[in-house]
């Protein structure tokens, strides 16, 4: 039976967070708060130097500035909610705020997947076709590539969030998560969610599998080209230009595949421990990865380090 009006029976949701583990809440509050401040500072500095530092006005650093802005938006859509849940047991969130947070997280996550593949293409052209790089990766090309990444991610998020919002929620309103994670929310719907699941599978193919394959193929050609360079110094220099991006890709996708691909325990006695582990892995993906991105690019890229140092000296003058 169709029950479209039963959504009104649920005016909001309750986020469990770590309420089942109160001893951990204060520790994780301090830890996540410090990580969030590092994210804001690190990514904020990267945005500043990539757009103000003239040596960094290149496609790679334009993408990097977008990635840093995206990481700030992604964490800001969820971290304040997570911090609040540590201070407020069984945190209540309104229906509209829940789906607003879901929309932002979905949009930022999908955009990052596409953006990382655009950065892989940039590295492919720079190493495999260096003479054509200024033509292929002109401003008329890399700006639409970045804009297209944002448009694709936002469009996907609109579709997924709208489909979830149309479901009736008429019973249990307790979300066993820190945030309004879509799978946790869909479990509460009192209707058939098969269309939502099919839509998410298609979206995962488009925004996860295809970008991963694209990045993999790009790096196969990149590594093959690097290995053909006769001098060891030349190989080292070529690899250094893409090592930071490759590290970010491994951390980002490695966490996603581990989070969703690890086997589920069939032992009911270990369900509580597994539930806690799933939440902490999700927390790692949502906070630690955006924190590592500016650190990786700062430590593994001499141009970024020089730009940060120059910007610091200008500010100190």
Torsion of CA 218, 222, 224, 230, to 10 degrees: 170
Residue 135 predicted with pLDDT over 70: yes
pLDDT at 190: 87
pLDDT at 275: 66
Q: Which domains does the chain have, with CATH numbers?
A: 14-257+274-306 (1.20.1070.10)
User: In which band, very low, low, confident or very high, does the pLDDT at 297 lie, cut at 50, 70 and 90?
Assistant: confident
pLDDT at 311: 60
Residue 155 predicted with pLDDT over 90: yes
Percent of the chain exceeding pLDDT 90 equals 39
Residue 66 predicted with pLDDT over 50: yes
Nearest to 139 by CA among 130, 131, 147: 147
Residue 3 predicted with pLDDT over 70: no
Which has the minimum average pLDDT: 128-142, 257-271, 275-289?
257-271
Residue 121 predicted with pLDDT over 90: yes
Residue 58: burial class (beta carbons within 10 Å; 0-12, 13-18, 19+): middle
pLDDT at 226: 93
pLDDT at 5: 45
């Amino acid at each position: 039976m169709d029950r479209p009006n039963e959504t009104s029976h649920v005016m909001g949701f309750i986020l469990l967070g770590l309420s089942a583990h109160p001893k951990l809440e204060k520790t994780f509050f301090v830890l996540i708060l410090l990580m969030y401040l590092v994210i804001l500072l690190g990514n904020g500095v990267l945005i500043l130097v990539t757009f103000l530092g003239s040596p960094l006005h290149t496609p790679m650093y334009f993408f990097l500035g977008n990635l840093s802005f995206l990481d700030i938006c992604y964490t800001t859509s969820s971290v304040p909610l997570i911090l609040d849940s540590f201070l407020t047991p069984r945190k209540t969130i309104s229906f509209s705020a829940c789906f607003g947070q879901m929309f932002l997280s979905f949009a930022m996550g999908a955009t990052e997947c596409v953006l990382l593949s655009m950065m892989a293409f940039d590295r492919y052209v720079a190493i495999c076709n260096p003479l054509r790089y200024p033509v292929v990766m002109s401003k008329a090309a890399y700006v639409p590539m970045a804009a297209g990444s944002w448009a694709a991610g936002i469009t996907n998020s609109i579709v997924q969030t709208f489909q979830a919002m149309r479901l009736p929620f008429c019973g249990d309103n307790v979300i066993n998560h820190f945030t309004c994670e879509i799978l946790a929310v869909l479990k509460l719907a009192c209707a058939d969610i098969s269309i939502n699941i099919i839509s998410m599978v298609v979206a995962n193919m488009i925004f996860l599998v295809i970008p991963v394959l694209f990045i993999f193929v790009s790096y196969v050609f990149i590594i093959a080209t690097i290995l053909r360079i006769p001098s060891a110094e030349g190989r080292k220099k070529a690899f250094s230009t893409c090592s930071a991006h490759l590290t970010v890709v491994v951390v980002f996708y490695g966490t996603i595949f581990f989070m969703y691909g690890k086997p589920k325990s069939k032992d009911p006695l270990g369900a509580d421990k597994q539930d806690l582990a799933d939440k902490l892995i999700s927390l790692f993906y949502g906070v630690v990865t955006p924190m590592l991105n500016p650190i990786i690019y700062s430590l593994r890229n001499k141009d970024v380090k020089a730009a940060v140092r120059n910007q610091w000296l200008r500010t100190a003058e």
